[in-house]
Structure 1
């Protein structure tokens, strides 16, 4: 999908399988991350995750690990 020229790209929404591939983990592990606080967008029965939110959440988790 192309954006009109001169506009900023829309936020990237990832599916559960895309998040699993991005992190090289199973879909079940993605659901565990969601259960532990990974923010999602629910569109009816569909679950999506903003890539930017995922990256920020992962950085926050990394910082939490270093402070323990």
Structure 2
């Protein structure tokens, strides 16, 4: 049986959605004078939050970080 990390497509899907959204709004942010560093920080924050708050156990339930 494959490990749950390999069989769970959710983290890969989240990463793909985050990348797509960041790429789609990049020009809008730049046109409005928002520094690209803001997008990088947003992406990092979302990835961090996903890794701690939205950890899936492979059965569609969400687990919270105990910290």
User: Same-fold call, TM > 0.5?
Assistant: no
TM class, shorter-length: 0.3 to 0.5
TM-score, with structure 2 as normaliser: 0.32
> Is the helix fraction higher in 1 or 2?
2
- More relative contact order, 1 or 2 (CA 8 Å, 6+ apart): 1
Structure number with bigger Rg: 2
TM-score, with structure 1 as normaliser: 0.32
